[in-house]
């Protein structure tokens, strides 16, 4: 066993359209797409995920926002070579367009659950009516599902209502809150601490452990928020 072959650099920097690869522990590789947080980049991630799924040395794949965590079954004998393979696969795979279903989310905007609407108005300089309208007018795409069971990271937010995540999370955010986190939107799935900003509420349940599949949202699905009530 040669020691040098195992001492791969832990970070392959993103350049010339190649992803950045870094390690988390000894058998997980984070592949980060170059460029913007947009649908074309996410489609490359979906394609990479699909290609790697068939490999017997892969234990689990966790797609994130324009990135993919590749968890191997065991520590790679030759980590540098595995990283090179990932880059080769990246170059050989085209975008994968997942044709998902469209989900309508009946939403109450404003009211007691819109605890961060005022802060978004302050940050954006928009009125509450405008913030709500800009949110429901868009059609969102589920980029990935994660963090909590069935939580969908929704891409496609209008940049005018971008709102950074809170530095200190709110301690008791309810399940069902319609939220904005940076350039992402989402529906909270668990009641508990949450750093995203709430502008509304839905009764829609997005996760049921006993159902098959247990999740309502899947990558590639389209999501439309339907303003059933607006309480401003």
Using CB under 8 A, list all residues that contact another protein: 3, 6-8, 10-11, 20, 22-28, 30, 32, 37, 59-69, 71, 74-77, 79, 144-151, 153, 164-165, 167, 182, 184, 189-190, 192, 207, 209-210, 213-215
CA 3 to chain centre: 37
Q: Which is nearer to another protein, 11 or 226 (CB)?
A: 11
> Hey, how many other C-beta atoms are within 10 angstroms of the C-beta on 164?
12
Q: Which is nearer to another protein, 208 or 228 (CB)?
A: 208
Least CB distance from residue 101 to another protein, whole Å?
15
SS3 144: strand
- Written in H, E and C, the secondary structure of 196-217 is CEEEEECCCCCECCCCCCCECC
Least CB distance from residue 185 to another protein, whole Å?
13
Both tokens of residue 110?
A: 């404003």
DSSP string, 148-207: STT-EEEE---GGG-BPPPSS-EEEEPTTEEEEEBTEEEE--SSEEE-SEEEEE-----B
Q: Which is nearer to another protein, 3 or 102 (CB)?
A: 3
Least CB distance from residue 213 to another protein, whole Å?
8
Counted residue by residue, the chain has a size of 232
Least CB distance from residue 21 to another protein, whole Å?
9
Least CB distance from residue 211 to another protein, whole Å?
10
**137-157: b (≥16 Cβ within 10 Å) or e:** ebebbbbbbbbeebbbbbbbb
DSSP assigned state of 219: T
Least CB distance from residue 75 to another protein, whole Å?
5
Q: Which is nearer to another protein, 61 or 89 (CB)?
A: 61
Q: Which is nearer to another protein, 108 or 179 (CB)?
A: 179
Q: Which is nearer to another protein, 17 or 164 (CB)?
A: 164
């Amino acid at each position: 066993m040669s020691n040098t072959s195992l001492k791969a650099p832990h970070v392959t920097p993103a350049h010339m359209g190649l992803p950045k690869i870094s390690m988390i522990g000894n058998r997980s590789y984070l592949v980060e797409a170059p460029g913007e947080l947009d649908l074309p980049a996410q489609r490359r991630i979906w394609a990479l995920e699909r290609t790697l799924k068939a490999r017997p040395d892969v234990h689990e794949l966790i797609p994130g926002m324009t990135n993919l965590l590749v968890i191997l079954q065991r520590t790679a004998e030759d980590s540098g070579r595995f990283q090179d393979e990932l880059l080769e696969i990246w170059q050989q795979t085209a975008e994968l367009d997942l044709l998902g279903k469209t989900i309508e989310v009946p939403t109450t905007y404003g009211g007691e659950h819109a605890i961060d609407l005022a802060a978004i108005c302050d940050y954006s300089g928009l009125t509450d009516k405008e913030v709500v309208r800009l949110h429901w007018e868009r059609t969102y795409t589920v980029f990935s599902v994660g963090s909590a069971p069935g939580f969908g990271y929704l891409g496609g937010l209008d940049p005018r209502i971008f709102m950074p995540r809170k530095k200190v999370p709110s301690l008791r955010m309810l399940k069902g809150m319609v939220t904005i986190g940076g350039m992402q939107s989402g529906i909270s799935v668990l009641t508990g601490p949450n750093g995203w900003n709430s502008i509304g509420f839905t009764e829609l349940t997005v996760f049921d452990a006993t159902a098959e599949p247990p999740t309502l949202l899947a990558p590639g699905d389209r999501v439309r928020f339907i303003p059933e009530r607006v309480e401003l």
